[in-house]
Amino acid sequence: MAVRYLDQTLINQIAAGEVIERPASAIKELVENSIDAGATRIDVIARDGGRTLISITDNGCGMEQEDLLLCVERHATSKIPDGDLFNIRTLGFRGEALPSIGSVSRLTITTKRDQGEAWQLSVEGGIKGIPQPASFAKGTRVEVRDLFYATPARLKFLKSPTIELNHITDIIYRQALANPEIEFTLRHDDRAVINFIQGIDRFNGILGKDFRNNALAVDFQREESCLRGWISIPTYNRSNSSDQYLFVNGRPVKDKLFATALKVAYQDVLAGNRYPCVSLFLECSPDEVDINVHPAKAEVRFRDPNLMRGFIIAGIREALRGMASQTSTHLTDKALMAFDRSIAASVPSESSSFLNASHGAISQTASPRLHPQPKLNMPTRSSYAPLSESKASYMAPRPPIVTQVGAAIAEFTKAEQPHHDYPLGYAKAQVHETYIVAETADALVLVDQHAAHERLVYERMKHDLSTGMIKSQALLIPTVIELTLMQFKVIQDVLPNLSKYGFQIESFGEQGIVVRDVPSLLNKCDIKQLMLDLASEILERDTATTVEVALHEILADKACKNSIRAGRRLNIEEMNALLREMEKTPLSNQCNHGRPTFIKLSRADMEKLFERA
């Protein structure tokens, strides 16, 4: 067959397959045009999930008749005046959206400049009409009817109206977060879905009312790059990444580098199958990022991906280190609900039964003074043993006050309250030899002693690893690993980073390596598989976290096995020492697996529980 040119309509339909995947894709392109036009209000209307109607109305600058004729031509745009693809400061720039939409739908554009005439133009299945005078206020309205009617095969791939509406809503949410100065509304089938007018808190509507109470501010800057926004504390998380809103130079993106950086930053504080909630804005020089990677413009490519990934990770980790003694507010709600259920199920019929439960065992005891407090037997650089089980450490001159409520046995002590008020307060009791009950000036704190100590041990081990205190171990038989040329190259590039962990690796032949020394923590690992996994990760995601993750997983396992166990009885001084170490240790508000180490009930919460409010 002879080679021939494709006709313009077919070219536009092919382009539409790349740019317009579903109704939400069309709305994204049209909303971006409205933002670029300087609109301060954008109203979106959809019917049947966007299949039968999409309408976008804005109060932007509008267009003249000549611009209206050109805007539906392929690759016609006003957004690259100097032709520099690496200095783009608008959301749109390819000149593909309107001709692509017009080629697969019935498109009508009505527009008016501030002091000009209003004009209307129709495009049906790629066939352009003639501009007609119209009656319209300043701005532009784009109506898309019967999307994909000209390409029925694409129409068959659309999901239910509800699913398509969810995609549309997500597009508006992202633009609303990126552009807080613009009002956004969305109506679907004559029902209001979004109404982000001035004064409405968008974080509440998009990320939920609890997000701000469980979020940390990020404000991190190096040279010309800046990372700002909000990230959730680890104990406030989701089962998927739907509540992750990421932006690069004001552009909403779903970028692999950004997502990987988030995962690495949270790897020590969140289980692998859980996701933080974030709204993060990365600002960098336009020539450091290529936004012309994909027609949909949802992906970007950085000039130095490793540098940018490290920058994002550092910014997030700095925020996480500053969260101090903070844990998720929904844990308090769960605790109150648990109290409500247990109280409703077990309230005694006689007020005297509570006293009878103690069998008359009521006596006073003087607990040891809290100053000076002895140090908790925390792991040293040479030992990660649990606390001593010595009975001599339990200083109780008289039998403690014991009160029984249901199945819970608590040892209460009456200690002198020092003047200084610590964030986690002062220990008052140990419940079930597992949980520490502490009191602050205005709250009650319940600490999981094993989870808390596990984090403290883990952080000490990580410090020892990073400072070279965990030594290398020579392999009895050096491991020779044959690699592909690509694998060999990427492993060579990361050898300096591997050596700081205690690896001694040399080249072996043209494309092989020999591993002679490994960190002592990895002496029982499959070193060959570890190196192959590392090479695969670098080739696939351009990251090199496999070794660090493997080391940290081993440390986490050792920390778990060498921490205070549930059922280990602690005296008041040991409990207080644990609380003080938690206050000094970063990330101590959750264990290595993302579980909370403590919950806090404020005085107001307790008054609500007892209906005293």
First to last CA, the chain: 84
Whether 91 and 154 map to the same domain: the answer is: yes
Q: What is the pLDDT of residues 147-188, one digit of tens each?
A: 998 888 788 889 999 999 999 999 999 999 999 999 999 999
Whether 438 and 485 map to the same domain: the answer is: no
Whether 258 and 301 map to the same domain: the answer is: yes
Q: What is the pLDDT of residues 411-445, one digit of tens each?
A: 444 445 554 578 899 999 999 999 999 999 888 99
Quickly state the pLDDT bin for 533 (edges 50, 70, 90).
confident
pLDDT at 297: 73
22-46 average pLDDT score: 95
Output the CA torsion 260→264→270→271 (10° steps).
70
Whether 544 and 570 map to the same domain: the answer is: no
pLDDT at 39: 96
CA-to-CA separations, 209 to 167, 174, 201, 203, 301, in angstroms, rounded: 22, 17, 9, 7, 34
* Side-by-side strand order, sheet with 426-431: 401-405, 408-412, 426-431, 435-439, 443-448, 598-602
Instruction: Give the CATH number of the domain where residue 548 resides.
Output: 3.30.1370.100
SS (H, E, C) 471-507: CEEEEEEEEEEECCHHHHHHHHHHHHHHHCCCCEEEE
pLDDT at 337: 64
pLDDT value at 263 more than 60: yes
Q: What is the pLDDT of residues 451-464, one digit of tens each?
A: 999 999 888 888 88
What angle is formed at CA 446 by the lines to CA 445 and CA 448, rounded to 5 degrees?
140
The angle that helices 449-466 and 572-584 make with each other, rounded to 10 degrees, is 50
Could you give the number of structural domains in the chain? Answer: 4
In a domain, 334, yes or no: no
HSE-CB of 116 using CA atoms within 13 angstroms: 18
In a domain, 23, yes or no: yes
Instruction: Answer left, alpha or beta for residue 473, where phi above 0 means left and psi between -120 and 50 means alpha.
Output: beta
Instruction: Give the CATH number of the domain where residue 104 resides.
Output: 3.30.565.10
In a domain, 504, yes or no: yes
Q: Cα–Cα distance between 612 and 605 in angstroms, integer?
A: 10
Whether 111 and 179 map to the same domain: the answer is: yes
Average pLDDT score, the chain: 81
Whether 392 and 425 map to the same domain: the answer is: yes
Q: Cα–Cα distance between 171 and 88 in angstroms, integer?
A: 21
Q: Which of 166, 200, 234 is the last residue of a domain?
A: 200
Whether 185 and 112 map to the same domain: the answer is: yes
Q: Cα–Cα distance between 271 and 595 in angstroms, integer?
A: 8
In a domain, 345, yes or no: no
In a domain, 148, yes or no: yes
Q: What is the pLDDT of residues 475-528, one digit of tens each?
A: 989 999 999 999 999 898 888 888 888 889 999 988 999 999 998 887 778 889
Q: What is the pLDDT of residues 123-139, one digit of tens each?
A: 998 899 999 999 998 99
pLDDT value at 291 more than 70: yes
Whether 543 and 588 map to the same domain: the answer is: no
pLDDT at 121: 96
What angle is formed at CA 373 by the lines to CA 367 and CA 378, rounded to 5 degrees?
120
Q: Cα–Cα distance between 411 and 280 in angstroms, integer?
A: 46
**457 in Cβ contact with 563 (< 8 Å):** yes
pLDDT value at 290 more than 80: yes
Residue numbers of the domain that contains 269: 203-321
In a domain, 343, yes or no: no
Quickly state the pLDDT bin for 385 (edges 50, 70, 90).
very low
φ and ψ at 302, to 5 degrees?
-95, 145
**140 in Cβ contact with 60 (< 8 Å):** yes
In a domain, 136, yes or no: yes
| pTM tops 0.75, yes or no | no
Whether 119 and 189 map to the same domain: the answer is: yes
- The residue with greater pLDDT, 6 or 193, is 193
Q: Where are the beta strands (DSSP E) in 59-202?
A: 106-112, 118-124, 127-128, 132-133, 139-145, 183-188, 191-196
pLDDT value at 401 more than 60: no
Q: What is the pLDDT of residues 190-243, one digit of tens each?
A: 999 999 988 778 888 899 888 988 899 999 999 889 999 999 988 888 999 999
Whether 449 and 528 map to the same domain: the answer is: no
pLDDT at 566: 79
CA-to-CA separations, 8 to 102, 139, 150, in angstroms, rounded: 12, 29, 14
In a domain, 414, yes or no: yes
pLDDT at 327: 64
Instruction: Give the CATH number of the domain where residue 446 resides.
Output: 3.30.1540.20
Quickly state the pLDDT bin for 448 (edges 50, 70, 90).
very high
Q: Which of 200, 226, 242 is the last residue of a domain?
A: 200
Q: Which of 143, 175, 200 is the last residue of a domain?
A: 200
pLDDT at 464: 83
pLDDT value at 380 more than 50: no
- The residue with greater pLDDT, 21 or 75, is 21
Whether 481 and 433 map to the same domain: the answer is: no
User: Both tokens of residue 392?
Assistant: 């001599």
Quickly state the pLDDT bin for 354 (edges 50, 70, 90).
very low
Which contiguous run of DSSP H or E holds residue 70? helix 65-71
88-113 average pLDDT score: 85
- DSSP character at residue 385: P
SS3 for 89?
Answer: coil
Instruction: Give the CATH number of the domain where residue 314 resides.
Output: 3.30.230.10
Q: Identify which of 96, 95, 120 has the alpha carbon closest to the alpha carbon of residue 108.
A: 120
244-268 average pLDDT score: 90
pLDDT at 318: 92
Quickly state the pLDDT bin for 93 (edges 50, 70, 90).
low
pLDDT at 453: 92
Whether 296 and 405 map to the same domain: the answer is: no
Q: What is the pLDDT of residues 308-336, one digit of tens each?
A: 999 999 999 999 887 755 665 656 666 66
**482 in Cβ contact with 512 (< 8 Å):** yes
pLDDT at 382: 38
